[in-house]
Each structure stands twice: as structure tokens, then as C-alpha cells.
Structure 1
Amino acid sequence: MITRLARQLFIVCAALAVAGNAFADQVQVAVAANFTAPMKAIAAAFEEDTGHSVQASYGATGQFYAQISNGAPYEVFLSADDSTPAKLETQGQAVNGSRFTYAIGKLVLWSPKPGVVDDSAAVLEHGDFKHLAIANPKAAPYGLAATQTLEKLGLSNRLKGRIVEGQNITQALQFVSTGNAELGFVALSQVYKDGQITSGSAWVVPETMYQPISQDALILKKGADNPAAKALVDYLKGPKAAAVIKAYGYQL
């Protein structure tokens, strides 16, 4: 009798699990490289809370734009700027009304070694270094912010021969982390967690030195009929995602 009851309970639970999975969907997401760590944390919480799954790709905003324009199967796009999503919206490649700013990024000059960078740009003017890493300014908004900062400091020409460009902000960070560049302009979120720089030394560049990095997200046309796409966008606007975003140094 107990065995029969246990079998019946097992069948009911299995049926409920199948039914639950029937309402779960996967969403394909293109994510700006600077938002890699926060997105991984948010995606894990989203999957646990909703049952939907996230298939995320990380890279440069400009490269994603080219891929989306050529038919890439992304359903949600988290950009590193606001102009690229606006362009996709104008071109009819996005769901109208779905675009919103999910984070405002900050630029930081970083070295993995303590004491190399102080709370100013002094190391750029007087420091003994051979290479300065930045992201490609044509494809990555943080790379553009880096070049704008150098222009404001009047150092563009002087440091031109020392600059090494990564395809995206992740590669720029790798150049510095591996010692191929002594320091570099990276996203604050890459070296910051819970109120402090996680390693090395850094100068958080004043926001007056570069154009605001307003990072917009939207649902692309390919995700218009996917419940998981809308659910993810709604989740990004919620309190759990906001807490993660703030923890990595972004403004909301």
C-alpha cells in the first residue's frame, strides 16, 4: 500500500515537473562585455526564480550590432550604449517600447599592482609605462570614453604610440591582467564589487571627462513572441537585478 502510494506521488510530481517545463522557455541574449559578471549573477537568479533559461553571448556592442543586422538569432540585447539600441529601434529590428536604460557605466584607469595608480591621472602624465590598454573605440563605448578622457587630459598625441586596443573591454582588461600592458582604461564593474576595488590600484575617471555611458536594453524582433524575453527584461527592472547592478559599481 505504501509502495503504491509512493508510486502515485512520484507520477504526480513527475507530471507537475513536465507541466512546469512546458511553460519554460529559453532566451538568446547579446550582452555587452562590461556587463559579463553582473549578467551571469542575474541570469542565475532569473533562471531559479522563473524557470526560464538564458543563453548569453558576451562581446563588443559594435560587433553585436553588425551580427543583429545580419540576422543573428538574438532575442534580447543589452548594449553598452544608448545609441546602438536606438538605431536598431529606428531600423525596425526591435519591439517598440521595449527599450530602457538598465545601467549607467563608469570608466576606470586600472593597474593590477597596488600603488601604481593614485586618485588622479598622474601616472599617465609622469608614469613609467610602455603600454596603455583600451577597448576599440569604434566598437566599444568604453573605448570611446577612454579616448575622450585622453583628449580632455591633453594626452592623446603623447600617448598614441603606447596604446594597445582590445576588440572589446574584456580583452582590454586581459591585456592589463596578463602584464601585456601595465595599465588600462576598463569598466569599473570589471574591478569593483560591493563598494571597493577588488585588486590593484585604480582611478575612477570623473564623469565630466567623457560622454555618459547610458547602457540600454531592448527586446529584438526575434524575441517578440518569446515569453522568456519579456520576462528577462522585466526581471532586469526589478529589485534583485538592481541590487546586483549596484554591487558592481553601476548607477541606475
Structure 2
Amino acid sequence: MIIRFILAALLASLLSSWGGVAFAGEVRLAVASNFIEPVNALARRFQDETGHHVVVSTGSTGKLYAQITNGAPFDVFLAANEREPQRLEQDGLAAPGSRFTYALGRLALWCREADGPETAKRCLNINTTRLAIANPRLAPYGQAARQVLAALSLQDALQGRIVSGENISQTYQMVWSGNVPVGFVALSQVLGQDELMGAYWPVPPQLHAPIAQQAVLLSRAKGDAAAEAFMAFLQGPDADAVIRGFGYDRAGGE
């Protein structure tokens, strides 16, 4: 009798535990490479607050877009631009009305031989031997870097010395490893790094088109509690504090 009671209690406990898990869901994010550190911080906070599990996949915006159009099982797309989320919406692959700007990106010029912002800025000149940028065909930060070179009248002079990474993370790795001495990276990648080799120059936003990074709920996840909860969380005050802490602005300058 006692054994039967103990078994019944254990079974009730297990069912209670399983019942709690049943209410927690999973949200799969496709995230532009520049946003990997902020999204990891956001995911931890979201998981703590809601119990929903977050799975993050990263890459260039162009490659992630191609994966989504080919049926990759993502729920939310955090791009580094506006174009791809708009295209998904137009093609019926994103939930109507879900698209919004979650961050305004900032570009930085990182120079391993510099000792401050002004010397980092001077690393970009007609004598620069090699310059790393993200592939402008795939990565919006690469497009912005090209616009900066054009604005500074350096595009033609440096054309043969540009080394392209597939995405902004690869570009960062090129400079970090010392394979390339100077490179355009996301400000969030170098901001606040005490042990950063060299120094960086925060590129004035007026030298390139705004890097409006948009999020969209994919059609396959419409009605999914975890995915919709993450979209709401991303627009809230907790996410705002995290995103600003990594050097991004928010739409409207709020």
C-alpha cells in the first residue's frame, strides 16, 4: 500500500513537471551576423522571463534570406537591413504587419595599429595596404562600408586592396587575427572591449545610408505563442536597454 502511494505521488510529480514544460515553447531565430552578441543577451533574458527556449542561427542577411525562401524552419528573421524582410512580406513568407525596425546599426573602422579614434581614422587612406569589409552583395554592413569609401573618395584608390568576408563576423575575424590590419566592422563588435588590439573610429552615420535592421515574423510561425512572445519582447523596454547597451540606436531615437 505504501509502495503504491509512493508510486502514485511520483507519477503525479512527473505529470506536473511535464505539464509545465508543455506550456514552454521554442522559437527559432535567423539572425544577421552583426547582431550575434546582442541576440544572445536578449535570448537569455527572454528565456528567464518566459520559459520559452531560443535557438539562434546566424549568417549574412542575404544567405539567411535564401535559406528562408528555400524552406528553412525559422520562426523569426532579424535582418541587418529592410530589403529582405520587405521581400519576404511581399512574397507571403512573412506575417503581414509584423515587420518593424528593431535596431539602427553603427559602423566602425577598426585598425590594429591605432591608439585612439583619430589614429584609427587615419589608417584609412590611399596608402592602406589591405582593407577588410563584409561582402556588399550579401551583407548590409558591407554596403555601408562601400558608401563610406565613396563618400571619402577612396573607393577607386583602394579597389584592389579590399578583402571581403562573407559576413561582418568574418570581417571581424580577419582583423582580430591580424591577417588584415584595417577593417570595417559593426560598432557593437568592438564597443567596450578592454583588450581590443588597436583602436576604432566610430563612423559618422551621415557617411552612409541608415542601417535600419528589421525583424519579421515568418508566416509559418503565425499564431505560435513562443515566436509571437519574442516579437513582443523585442519591442519592449527590457530589449531596448540591451540593444542600446551594445551601441545600437532605436528607431525614432526614443
Please report the TM-score for the alignment, with normalisation by the length of structure 2.
0.90
Q: Partners in 1 of 2:79 and 2:247 — Cα distance?
A: 17
Which residue is equivalent to 1:22? 22
Which residue is equivalent to 2:191? 192
CA RMSD of aligned residues (A): 2.3
The 8 Å contact of residues 121 and 200 in structure 2, kept in 1 or not, is answered as: no
Q: Partners in 2 of 1:180 and 1:117 — Cα distance?
A: 21
The 8 Å contact of residues 111 and 117 in structure 1, kept in 2 or not, is answered as: no
The 8 Å contact of residues 120 and 199 in structure 2, kept in 1 or not, is answered as: no
- Mapping of 1:89-128 within 5 angstroms? 89-115=89-115, 118=118, 121-125=121-125
Which residue is equivalent to 2:164? 165
Q: Larger deviation: 4-13 or 73-82?
A: 4-13
TM-aligned CA distance change 1:250 to 1:207, over 3 Å: same
Q: Partners in 1 of 2:116 and 2:153 — Cα distance?
A: 21
Unaligned runs of 5+ in 2: none
Cα offset, 1:122, TM superposition? 2.3
Query: What percent identity do the matched residue pairs reach?
Result: 45
- Mapping of 1:149-164 within 5 angstroms? 149-164=148-163
Which residue is equivalent to 1:88? 88
Alignment counterpart, residue 231 of structure 2, candidates 230, 233, 236: 233
Q: Partners in 1 of 2:172 and 2:120 — Cα distance?
A: 20
Q: Larger deviation: 201-210 or 236-245?
A: 236-245
Cα offset, 1:115, TM superposition? 1.7
TM-aligned CA distance change 1:57 to 1:158, over 3 Å: same
Which residue is equivalent to 2:133? 134
Please report the TM-score for the alignment, with normalisation by the length of structure 1.
0.91
TM-aligned CA distance change 1:109 to 1:90, over 3 Å: same
Cα offset, 1:130, TM superposition? 2.1
Q: Matched residue of 2:124: which SS?
A: helix
Cα offset, 1:16, TM superposition? 3.1
The 8 Å contact of residues 95 and 220 in structure 1, kept in 2 or not, is answered as: yes
Cα offset, 1:126, TM superposition? 5.9
Cα offset, 1:4, TM superposition? 11
Q: Partners in 2 of 1:159 and 1:17 — Cα distance?
A: 61
Q: Partners in 1 of 2:183 and 2:190 — Cα distance?
A: 12
Q: Partners in 1 of 2:165 and 2:21 — Cα distance?
A: 41
Q: Matched residue of 2:227: which SS?
A: helix
The 8 Å contact of residues 119 and 204 in structure 1, kept in 2 or not, is answered as: no
Q: Partners in 2 of 1:240 and 1:62 — Cα distance?
A: 29
- Mapping of 1:30-45 within 5 angstroms? 30-45=30-45
Q: Partners in 2 of 1:147 and 1:85 — Cα distance?
A: 22
Q: Matched residue of 2:123: which SS?
A: helix
Q: Partners in 1 of 2:16 and 2:236 — Cα distance?
A: 28
Q: Partners in 1 of 2:96 and 2:74 — Cα distance?
A: 16
Unaligned runs of 5+ in 1: none
Cα offset, 1:74, TM superposition? 1.0
Q: Partners in 1 of 2:123 and 2:114 — Cα distance?
A: 13
Cα offset, 1:135, TM superposition? 0.1
Q: Larger deviation: 116-125 or 183-192?
A: 116-125
Q: Partners in 2 of 1:157 and 1:106 — Cα distance?
A: 24
